[in-house]
Amino acid sequence: MSVALEIKGLKKTYADGFQALKGIDLHVRQGDFFALLGPNGAGKSTTLGILTSVVSKSAGSVCIMGHDIDQDFQQAKQCLGVVPQEFNFNQFEKVFDILVTQGGYYGLSRALAKQRAEKYLRKLDLWDKRDTISRTLSGGMKRRLMIARALVHEPQLLVLDEPTAGVDIELRRSMWEFLTQVNEEGTTIILTTHYLEEAESLCRNIAIIDEGQIIENTSMKSLLRKLTREIFIFDTRNALQPPLELPGFTARIMDEHMLEVEIEVGKEQSLNKLFTLFDGAGIEVTSMRNKANRLEEMFVNLLKPSKIVGYDQAANSPVVEPGAAANDGAAS
Amino acid sequence: MNMAIQWVSFKTIVVKEVRRFMRIWVQTLVPPAITIALYFVIFGSLIGSRIGQMGGYDYMQFVVPGLIMMAVIQNSYGNVVSSFYGTKFQGNIEELLVSPTAEVTILLGYLAGGVLRGLAVGGIVTVLALFFTELSVESWPITISMVLMTAVVFSIAGFLNAMYANSFDDISIIPTFVLTPLIYLGGVFYSVDLLPDFWANVSLVNPILYMVNGFRYGILGVSDVSLGVSYFMLTLFMLGGFGFAMYLLTRGEKLRS
């Protein structure tokens, strides 16, 4: 399969001396749905900024659909569509005009640009708003307008920088469906997001960037297979009383009807074994869920704890050692 | 460079710019028309009739070319500086930077927008002037080339101002503290022959003097400076300014990090 994006030895040092990228290599195949993840300040936006010509690189090379962005910038840019993080369309223009103007920047005739504008405004449920001044749109509509604008020249590679930030869950899911459809129609998509559930459900391959370096670059499946530990939350019908005997498992009572249990795949622990122990202890489970999504667990494991804003190390530390009785962890 | 894409992109920028100043015509076309009409009434009709002749013409006839040029200069400059800075401020300059539109196309598109606004206001002011005095053109080629070159020079100046501007204050400081004094002291209202030798010589370093007098020569056939020097100065500013603007755009000065 051909390569949609090839980055080699990409470095960026800003004027104040801050080295945002320390020589990254990245390879995204055509047709892929690729996640680029990392904590704030890791280098994601700098990488995307270089792809989109908003940031100048210090060293390295970038090829988009086989076109070098230095040698062959017009062809490279013609293949690229960008949805930036911030709303950056003209706030005083009508929705339809924004798309038609964008088409013109890519060499589309006015007639074709109008046709495409209608196509994508309809697909993104914005056709009724075509004559609305863009600044009066709701946040969700503005996000969709950004996606429609990026697609008007029908790029082969679509880069989305946190496209669903601040969007309600219903709209987010409809945008996921739309992006999946765009990807299935052949457009390669690179996505950055802080919603790891979004990356896990949409993307086939993933790179994690930290301190200007790629620390993981693999398929989503391979990455998640490396996850050796999962934490589940169980809601119980009966009140939990310490001490609680769950030999081999790390458990902690959150409150009298909620229990947190850590399962380590490497130690051949399983939910079946756990439920057997629950039965033995007379615990009736009414519902269960992952404490965090699996990719989030992996992400936290890969990064230094100090990098995870709001990451509570204590909450992830075992309160009860395997084999020991669980204390009442609700107070912690 | 794919010229077909660049041509479509250039037309898109120009259409966008023209639509912008037509959409807000109350802010862009009406105020200069009213201001210049007041100049015609006060300096031309009321005071002008007591001043007598200047350069061999009635004061009203003398002052009209200068006032038309003043409108062209202010509006060419104002259009580009406010539009391009607004584009930077809102972040939609990224729409252009991300696209295959070449830097030279971006510059030419914005300059064309500035020139068209300058000419539109210049045209309105010329029509208004016909209500106050008779206007005959001595040389159409000189008149047209002078007004076009001046509009280009001040569109470039507005572009450079917008490139460097970090705030809305920065786009009003230059027009207020630099451009307006240069226009007022650039022979719009008087002939430099009236000044003492020292101040007449100081006036010669003001580039606007050459533009106003070149244009006045095209209309009336009189000028305080040589026509050749006027063309030389305009060509110099045009080429120098265009080259510098291209350099800044290519470097991405205050556009790229």
Residue B54 predicted with pLDDT over 90? no
Quote the ipTM score: 0.87
Confidence of residue B9 (pLDDT cuts 50, 70, 90): very high
Residue A105's H or E segment, with its range, is: helix A95-105
CA distances from B225 to A307, B60, B162, B232 (A): 69, 20, 31, 12
Average pLDDT over chain A, rounded to an integer: 82
Chain B CB contacts of A105 under 8 Å are 9, 12, 95-96, 99-101
Question: Mapping DSSP to helix (H, G, I), strand (E, B) and coil, where does residue A191 land?
Answer: strand
Phi and psi angles of residue A222, each rounded to the nearest 5 degrees, phi first: -60, -40
Could B98 and A80 be called an inter-chain contact, meaning their C-beta atoms sit closer than 8 Å?
yes
User: Taking the domains of chain A in order of start, what are their residue ranges?
Assistant: 3-224, 227-331
**Under a CB-based contact definition with an 8 Å cutoff, are residues B219 and B125 in contact?**
no
Do residues A208 and A263 touch, judged by C-beta distance below 8 A? no
Instruction: Compute the average pLDDT of residues B62-80.
Output: 93
Tell how strand A205-210 and strand A33-37 pair up. parallel
Region B143-157: mean pLDDT is 95
What is the CA A201 to chain-centroid distance, rounded? Answer: 9
- The residue-averaged pLDDT of A193-219 equals 83
B4 vs A86, A87, A107: nearest CB: A107
Q: Tell me: the pLDDT tens digits for A172-197? A: 888 888 999 999 999 999 998 877 77
Distance from CA of A303 to the nearest CA of B (A): 27
Chains A & B: contacts with CB separation below 8 Å? 83
| CA pair distance A14, A145, nearest whole angstrom | 31
- Ranges A105-119, A198-212, A293-307, B216-230, most confident: A105-119
Count of residues for chain B?
A: 257
Residue indicated by tokens 């004559």:
A131
Reported as a single tens digit per residue, the pLDDT across A232-290 is 888 988 888 777 777 778 888 888 888 888 887 655 777 888 888 888 888 888 988 87
Which of the four pLDDT bands, split at 50, 70 and 90, describes residue B135? confident
| pLDDT range class, residue A47, cuts 50, 70, 90 | very high
Least confident of A49-58, A81-90, A153-162, A241-250: A241-250
Q: Is the confidence at residue A325, as pLDDT, over 70?
A: no
pLDDT at A215 over 60: yes
Q: Which of residues 71-110 of A touch B (CB under 8 A)?
A: 73-75, 77-78, 80, 82, 84, 86-91, 97, 101-102, 104-109
Q: Determine the pLDDT at residue B186.
A: 86
Q: Which of B8, B96, B97 lies at the smallest CB-CB distance from A107?
A: B8
How many distinct helices (H) and strands (E) make up chain B? Answer: 13, 2
pLDDT band at A309, cuts 50/70/90? very low
* The pLDDT of residue A150: 95
Q: Is the peptide bond before B175 cis (omega within 30 degrees of 0)?
A: no
Say if B12 falls within a structural domain.
Answer: yes
Minimal-distance CA residue of chain B relative to A97: B16
Q: A211: distance to nearest CA of chain B, Å?
A: 18
Query: How many angstroms away from the CA of A105 is the closest CA of chain B?
Result: 5
Q: Is residue B60 part of a domain?
A: yes
Judge residue B198's burial from the number of C-beta atoms within 10 Å of its C-beta, 0-12 exposed, 13-18 middle, 19 or more buried.
exposed
In a domain, B257, yes or no: no
Per-residue pLDDT of B77-104, as tens digits, reads: 999 999 999 999 988 898 899 999 999 9
Q: Which CATH architecture has domain A3-224?
A: 3-Layer(aba) Sandwich (3.40)
The mean of the pLDDT values for chain B is 90
Phi, psi of A76 (to 5 degrees): -60, -45
- Give the domain range for residue B66: 3-251
Cβ atoms of residues A69 and A43 within 8 Å: no
Whether B137 is in a domain gets the answer yes
CA of A285 to nearest chain B CA: how many angstroms apart?
A: 53
| Predicted pLDDT at A176 | 87
What was the pLDDT predicted at A227? 64
Task: Answer whether residue A167 shows pLDDT above 80.
Answer: no
Distances (CA, A) of B140 to A4, A22, B62, B136, B146: 56, 62, 17, 10, 10
- Domain membership flag for residue B244: yes
Q: Cβ separation of A101 and B16 shorter than 8 Å?
A: yes
How would you classify residue A125: left for phi > 0, otherwise alpha for psi between -120 and 50, otherwise beta?
left
Is residue B48 over pLDDT 80? Answer: no
Helix (H, G, I), strand (E, B) or coil at B150: helix
| Closest residue to A74, CB basis, from B19, B97, B100 | B100
**B256 within domain boundaries:** no
- Name the 3-class secondary structure at A203: coil
Q: Do B90 and A88 touch (CB under 8 A)?
A: yes
The pLDDT, as a whole number, for residue B2 is 83
Domain count, chain B: 1
Q: What is the pLDDT of residues A71-122, one digit of tens each?
A: 888 899 999 999 998 898 999 999 999 999 999 999 999 999 999 999 999 9
Q: What is the pLDDT of residue A288?
A: 87
Q: What is the pLDDT of residue A293?
A: 64
Query: The sheet that has A19-29: what strands, in order across it?
Result: A19-29, A3-13, A59-64, A67-68
Q: What is the mean pLDDT of residues A224-234?
A: 75
The predicted model gives B176-183 an average pLDDT of 88
